[in-house]
């Protein structure tokens, strides 16, 4: 349990809707939110339905617009409101462009871009009448720098990032903040699944000039908790005057903030 000295505060009994809750970053975020005293709706594609007093697990396909609307409405009705949201659901594709099928391109955009749109729109509709709220979208540093064999992923995250910032512009007059966290290489199954051997981490940290990929100046990979802590901060009242920000959390890999 997080001690009171290390808590951000302001999450007690707030309702937070999280997608991608079964992934490494999503799981870490759910743990932090519960430690902060929030009531958490943890959704993912194959999550079994399990409703408790503080944690409500729900299956959800973010690519299904109607399903997202139903889930958000059901939570808002049952728990009176949704105060915050985190769009963490995402999938990876690593084909070069000339070998990327139409189906693969659409699949990546359906989750990474359309899923974020479905969630942001549904949460915005719930939050706007109340005049407050906070939403964080987990993008990628690949949204801001070309990456070899990652065109679909990078393009989908770039589109998601700009959507989130446009949504933030539209919702700002209603007291609702929308921000982006852009992780770099993070120790999750998505990352390790790209490694061919036990030297994968070392290669990522050192950089790969043959594919024009820089290394990580801090000399380490992020943990899921590193990213989740950044999401937690931007959701919190301590970030109360921050909106439309695009925060890179990548150890300096893209040489930008």
Among all residues, which ones are annotated catalytic? Answer: 153
| Residue with the two structure tokens 């999280």 | 18
Length in residues, the chain: 257
Strand-pair category, 50-51 with 55-59: antiparallel
Return d(Cα 192, Cα 194) in angstroms, integer: 5
Q: Count the Cβ atoms, other than its own, within 10 Å of residue 247.
A: 19
At what angle are helices 224-235 and 24-35 packed, to 10 degrees?
Answer: 50
Return d(Cα 108, Cα 104) in angstroms, integer: 6
Of 46, 44, 16, the C-alpha closest to 31 is: 16
Strand-pair category, 15-19 with 39-44: parallel
| 8 Å CB contact between 28 and 227 | yes
């Amino acid at each position: 349990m997080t001690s009171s000295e290390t808590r951000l505060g302001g999450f007690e009994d707030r309702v937070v809707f999280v997608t991608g809750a079964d992934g490494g970053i999503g799981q870490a975020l759910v743990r932090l939110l519960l430690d902060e005293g929030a009531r958490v709706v943890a959704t993912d594609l194959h999550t079994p339905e399990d409703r408790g007093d503080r944690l409500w697990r729900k299956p959800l396909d973010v690519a299904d617009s109607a399903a997202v609307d139903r889930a958000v409405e059901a939570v808002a009705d049952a728990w009176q409101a949704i105060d915050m949201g985190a769009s963490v659901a995402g999938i990876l594709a690593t084909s070069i462009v000339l070998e990327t099928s139409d189906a693969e391109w659409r699949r990546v955009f359906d989750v990474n871009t359309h899923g974020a749109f479905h969630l942001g729109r549904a949460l915005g509709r719930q939050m706007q009448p109340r005049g407050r709220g906070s939403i964080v979208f987990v993008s990628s540093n690949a949204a801001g720098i070309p990456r070899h064999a990652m065109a679909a992923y990078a393009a989908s995250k770039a589109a998601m990032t700009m959507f989130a910032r446009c949504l933030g512009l539209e919702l700002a007059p209603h007291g609702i903040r929308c921000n982006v966290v852009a992780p770099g290489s993070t120790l999750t199954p998505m990352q390790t699944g790209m490694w061919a051997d036990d030297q994968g981490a070392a290669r990522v940290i050192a950089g790969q000039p043959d594919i024009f990929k820089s290394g990580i100046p801090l000399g380490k990979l992020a943990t899921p908790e590193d990213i989740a802590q950044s999401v937690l901060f931007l959701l919190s009242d301590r970030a109360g005057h921050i909106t439309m920000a695009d925060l890179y959390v990548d150890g300096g890999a893209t040489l930008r903030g």
